Structure 1
Amino acid sequence: MEHDYPQRQPEKFAQFLKRQKMIFVVAFLGYVCAYLVRNNFKLMSKSIMVTNGWDKADIATLLSCLTISYGLAKFYMGALGDKVSLRKLFSICLAASACICMIIGFFHTSMIMLAILLILCGVVQGALAPASQNMIANYYPNKTRGAAIAGWNISQNMGSALLPMMIAGMTTMGWIVPKTENILAAFIVPAVLVLAFAAICWKCGGDKPEAEGLDSLRTMYGEAGESNVASEEEKSSLTYWQLIKKYVFLNPMLLLVAAVNVALYFIRFGVEDWMPIYLHEVAKLSDTQAQMAISVLEWVAIPGSLVFAWLAAKYPNKMAKMGAIGLFIMSGVVLAYEMMTATGAPNYPALLVVCGVLGALIYGPQLIVNILTINFVPLNVAGTAIGFVGVTAYLIGNMGANWVMPLMADGFGWFWSYVVIAALSAFAAVGYLVLAKHEAKTIKA
């Protein structure tokens, strides 16, 4: 019997569980490292702008080079991950990201070189999220896959929080002097650390269990090994492109997941990216107060995500319902955030609490997208599905927030910008409720 596998193959199962833990550690820390060599230019953009005498439009253009190339790369790099070694793809692209980061440090005075390097950075970074999630998906069965993906999702918050702390520490020690050309350390030091970890990923990362002489999830766990969206016969009879067409491009549930993710990315970047300007212009906060509010949002996102990770472990096939509840609450919190800041003199401690709740409700429900994406497709096209859902989110959700938020604010006032965010939160919640029915059918825990 399939569920007797641990008793029938105790040594092999023990070996699998050991590899399972190692795969998670590599995927998690590897993606923390990805952020240590992705956001360096954004964090140092003010110093680079002042040093070179550039304006905000120049910086916006350069940031768009990274955003667009990264968004597009998530799709074709995700598809590549379905066909090649995930371990090698992840390690090579992480090492390439580190090398590009170093080169950026030396060429931060050239607009053309920066544009080229940031495009290249986006291309290689586009492989890292799909590859690391795919590694986890191939080693975790239905019951624990959601919790593992949810736990992995926290890596982006840790990376986002660690890099500015590293740069601030180097600034304090005098390694970086803002508004001068002495900003090389902000690119070199993180890149050296990441390059060293890429070597560890090459040695310890993984592909599918079968590639390492282990048995498949289906063999070890039966129907509880992977989602029941496609039979073994269908997966073997259809070509790779036929599977992509059926389960990615023409899969109604995955298309709805992508639509929900577009809304969630608009919410995430609409709130976070415009928070510094909004809190300065409307709430009349100082730069330090606004930065503290952003920091609180990022840090509280970690325990908030852990709560959703715990829910994923407790209710492995009910995550869509949890996401819906969180997003309905989010609609109200967004409006409360706007109303308490619109007075121009908000209660600052209360504002920090609201920002923390926003962080938890932005990142918590968003990690459910990663879980559903993997669960709604056969595992051998999971990378393509992750990339497809990611590219739509960046090119529509992220770019939409960059343009719609300021246009709404200038034309109708900030209140209506946040009404749009609240409405999108409610839309995403309804989308999750629709997805919940399909999730219950396909995921056997």
Structure 2
Amino acid sequence: MFGIFKPAPHISRLPEEKIDSTYKRYRIQVFLSIYLGYMLYYFVRSNFSLAKAYLIHQGFTKTELGLVASALGLAYGISKFVMGNLSDRSNPRYFLAAGLILSGIVNLFFPITKGITFLFALMFLNGWFQGMGWPPCGRTMTHWFSDGERGVKMSIWNTAHNVGGGFIAVIALAGVSIFGSWKGLFYLPGLIAIVGGLLYIIFAKDTPQSVGLPPIEEYKNDYPEVNVEDREREMTGKEILFKYVLNNKYLWYIALANVFVYLVRYGIINWVPTYLQEARHFSPKDTAIAFQIYEYAAIPGTIIVGWISDRFFSGRRAPIGIICMIGVTFGVFIYSHSTSLLVINITLAVIGALIYGPVMLIGVSALDMVPKKAGGTAAGFTGLFGYMGGQVAAEIVMGIVVDKFSWNGGFMLILAACVLSIVFLAFTWNVHDRSKYNKDNELPA
């Protein structure tokens, strides 16, 4: 890495009497920084969906806007993997901020776009910069929160995208009001992202050692199962990729599971409005409520799942992930057959509460399976499969199947994805079982 993106150097350790209070303060500060920072990423990602109706009035067709939307998923999937590898060798304080600021700047250009080619290029750029968000958060999490508490902390942090994705509707309305035009849908979120990126630089930190604190493993006396000769050594990109990621069969299993988890996640949420209005004849208002129920049910569901994986499964992520996917399978079956507004809303709440558990757990598992200096690459690897495989299938394959075989065929595809996700998660059933290794007797490298 170069310049400000280089990992922050370690400084002399603080006096012993100051370590505990300083650690507690910085852990809160760092957590809030990555939570709010990642939430703002969704301000400049989800606003495009709200702008589609206005863009149609500007002369764009639905087909063109669908193509543009696919550019974000395509770029994001690739970028999350590439940027994950770079972020493992970077200072997340500047890395995350740079992506947020650049994404904000791109949003300022959307309203002045006239042609589909330029709009596609801007969305691809936006997706690429969006890939700079998750990996540095993963790196930060592995440095400030120990192995034994990561499930809970990651589950809470993971709700940032639900909060951001939901709150953007309020920001969008405010933008239209302030700027007196639909262009405010891009201007206000873009400006907020730029300011947020600058504030992130002020409040975020790199590693505990960069502010005079001991490594988190030493502070919590909690040493992970994955051991390396020197946990604090910054690795080369090649070493991370070939030694710890591509050569890890369990990472491949959860990456493949992620394809099908994401197919279910986006296969439901991306088609909720169309399905409910076309097949169940819901009003736009009832459809909007159902859409929100799905997203916001994920917040308590994700947190509870993370806590359960740490508290009752000794850090094993696969068992609770499989339980969630079994619940999702039943939820999808009932959702696809019901005509009742109440039952459909309840099943969407159940699906939303459960599906984001495996989404979060696969990300945590990726961090569990590698040294902390390789966490961004591992998470990016699973994300690549999720977005390039699962989300693309949810957008394209789901549409083709529904056109050819009706909604029944579409739901059969989703149910098949549920089963396959369970199969691949089962291969990691006993991975990261903290009860099988003695952290108290393991000495730091």
1:13 is displaced (CA, Å) by 2.9
Count of equivalent residues: 423
1:305 is displaced (CA, Å) by 1.6
**Equivalent residue for 1:418?**
411
**Equivalent residue for 2:8?**
none
**Equivalent residue for 1:404?**
397
Report the AA paired with residue 149 of structure 1.
M
What is the SS of the residue equivalent to 1:232? coil
CA distance in 2, matches of 1:360, 1:139: 27
**Equivalent residue for 1:3?**
none
Match of 2:143 among 138, 153, 164: 138
CA contact (8 A) 2:328 2:351 kept: yes
Is residue 47 of structure 1 aligned with residue 54 of structure 2? yes
Is residue 354 of structure 1 aligned with residue 347 of structure 2? yes
CA contact (8 A) 2:89 2:236 kept: no
Is residue 163 of structure 1 aligned with residue 162 of structure 2? no
CA contact (8 A) 2:37 2:197 kept: yes
CA distance in 2, matches of 1:58, 1:322: 40
RMSD, aligned CA: 2.2
CA distance in 2, matches of 1:40, 1:116: 17
Higher helix share: 1
Match of 1:332 among 330, 337, 340: 330
CA distance in 1, matches of 2:388, 2:279: 28
CA distance in 2, matches of 1:151, 1:381: 22
Q: Deviations over 1:320-373 (max 9, x none)?
A: 211111111111110111011xxxxx2112211111111111212211111101
Q: Deviations over 1:3-34 (max 9, x none)?
A: xxxxx934223212221111110000001100
Is residue 254 of structure 1 aligned with residue 251 of structure 2? yes
CA contact (8 A) 1:142 1:444 kept: no
Report the AA paired with residue 96 of structure 1.
L
CA contact (8 A) 1:311 1:319 kept: no
**Equivalent residue for 1:9?**
16
Report the AA paired with residue 24 of structure 1.
F
CA distance in 1, matches of 2:416, 2:155: 25
Match of 1:37 among 44, 47, 71: 44
Identity of aligned residues (%): 24
CA distance in 1, matches of 2:238, 2:210: 22
CA distance in 2, matches of 1:197, 1:313: 32
**Equivalent residue for 2:206?**
207
1:122 is displaced (CA, Å) by 1.1
CA distance in 1, matches of 2:289, 2:231: 53
Distance 1:69 1:284, change over 3 A: same
1:214 is displaced (CA, Å) by 1.8
Distance 1:234 1:146, change over 3 A: closer
Report the AA paired with residue 64 of structure 1.
S
1:377 is displaced (CA, Å) by 0.6
CA distance in 2, matches of 1:115, 1:45: 14
1:252 is displaced (CA, Å) by 0.5
Equivalent runs, 1:34-433 vs 2, <5 Å: 34-51=41-58, 53-105=59-111, 107-169=112-174, 173=177, 182-222=181-221, 224-225=222-223, 227-232=224-229, 240-315=237-312, 316-340=314-338, 346-433=339-426
Report the AA paired with residue 108 of structure 2.
M
Match of 1:26 among 22, 29, 33: 33
CA distance in 1, matches of 2:114, 2:277: 29
CA contact (8 A) 2:240 2:374 kept: yes
Q: Deviations over 1:188-239 (max 9, x none)?
A: 11222222221221011121222222211233334x24x2223325996985
Residues 69-78 or 426-435, more deviating: 426-435
Report the AA paired with residue 338 of structure 1.
S
Report the AA paired with residue 165 of structure 2.
S
1:174 is displaced (CA, Å) by 7.9
CA distance in 1, matches of 2:232, 2:22: 27
CA contact (8 A) 2:104 2:193 kept: yes
Distance 1:246 1:325, change over 3 A: same
CA contact (8 A) 1:338 1:418 kept: yes
Q: Deviations over 1:25-79 (max 9, x none)?
A: 000000110001112222201211122x221111011112222111111111111
Listed as ranges, the gaps of 5+ residues in structure 1 are: 1-7, 177-181, 341-345
Report the AA paired with residue 148 of structure 2.
K
Report the AA paired with residue 266 of structure 2.
F
What is the SS of the residue equivalent to 1:257? helix
What is the SS of the residue equivalent to 1:215? coil
CA distance in 2, matches of 1:238, 1:202: 24
Report the AA paired with residue 74 of structure 2.
I
1:256 is displaced (CA, Å) by 0.7
**Equivalent residue for 1:343?**
none
Report the AA paired with residue 417 of structure 2.
L
Listed as ranges, the gaps of 5+ residues in structure 2 are: 1-14, 440-445
Distance 1:238 1:122, change over 3 A: closer
CA distance in 2, matches of 1:360, 1:300: 5
CA contact (8 A) 2:81 2:377 kept: yes
1:415 is displaced (CA, Å) by 1.5
What is the SS of the residue equivalent to 1:436? coil
Report the AA paired with residue 191 of structure 1.
G
Residues 287-296 or 259-268, more deviating: 287-296
CA contact (8 A) 2:335 2:343 kept: no
CA contact (8 A) 1:101 1:191 kept: yes
What is the SS of the residue equivalent to 2:159? helix
Report the AA paired with residue 292 of structure 1.
I
CA contact (8 A) 2:322 2:425 kept: yes
CA distance in 2, matches of 1:237, 1:44: 42
CA distance in 1, matches of 2:37, 2:437: 28
Distance 1:211 1:444, change over 3 A: farther
CA distance in 1, matches of 2:316, 2:125: 39
Report the AA paired with residue 248 of structure 1.
V
